[in-house]
Amino acid sequence: MPGMNRRVVFFLSDQTGVTAETLGRSLLTQFEEHEFDQVTVPFIDSVDKADEAVRQINAVATETGIRPIIFSTLVQDDIRERFSRANGLLLDFFSTFLGQLEQELLIRSSHTVGRAHGMKDQGSYDKRIEATNFALNNDDGTRTSEYDQADVILIGVSRSGKTPTCLYLALTYGVFAANYPLSEDEFETGRLPRSLESHRDKLFGVSISPERLRQIRRERRPEGRYASIEQVRYELRGAEALFRRYQIGWVDTTGFSIEEIASKILSRTGIERRVRP
């Protein structure tokens, strides 16, 4: 039987569960002394599925002796009502906030399933896809001819987080993000490559701690100089020296999530989001 510092958490949704997970996990981060076993139950779009989820929750409560925590973004009233009998702490985001909004706006909400992640804005969806294709086509310095179209060009050493950050910026905000890996040539000369010189106003640097970079590189290529602590320190010193020389803004990615890194970049650069998540 788990102790009180370990709890099972359910994320309930009539769609993918992304919203319930995002909101719920944001709250759970404030309780560092606890550990949480997380279960997502998506696409609860009928009373039968709701009742099955209730049975699952109650079974966990019986087995562990501790009632689970339940985060819900369910919309339909008849489905939401079924969870009032669940043996858990129910945190219903829609009932918490929709009622207050209805009072303030003097109108009842539509209670329409799927609005949070729907395709009602085809234009925004198309912009995200276009930005994602741009990020993939301009990854890792493979081509530089399209840099005129870029909103931002991330530069840094290999494995410092450039690619996932570019993809997140594209998928979430429709930002056209390219990235370019700094190499031995730049570290030896102390100068930017010619392909970046004319785009200096779009450059933003990413760095990382030597220890974390070494760990990442060893998982990818454990043998040779690539993952040695001497090599990663040399490269990071060279990269940060370039950032200072050319007055390029930069962020240390160590210990931050992709979401946090992207937010820092947008805040520091003032880049306008092409779409809203």
**Rounded Cα gap, residues 9 and 51, in angstroms:** 17
pLDDT tens-digit readout, 215-259: 999 998 888 899 999 999 999 999 999 999 999 999 999 999 999
How confident is the model over 176-230, as pLDDT tens digits? 999 999 999 999 999 999 999 999 999 999 999 999 999 999 998 888 899 999 9
The whole-angstrom distance between residue 41's C-alpha and the CA centroid of its chain comes to 20
pLDDT > 80? residue 77: yes
Question: For residue 70, what is the DSSP state?
Answer: E
- Assigned token pair, 52: 């099955």
How confident is the model over 131-154, as pLDDT tens digits? 999 999 999 998 899 999 999 999
- Specify which residues 10 forms β-bridges with: 39, 70
DSSP structure class, residue 180? E
The whole-chain average pLDDT of the chain stands at 92
Which amino acid makes up residue 182? L
* pLDDT, position 223: 85
Neighbours of 40 (CB within 10 A): 16
Asked whether the beta carbons of 2 and 64 are under 8 A apart, the reply is yes
3-class SS shares of the chain: helix, strand, coil, % to 5: 50, 15, 35
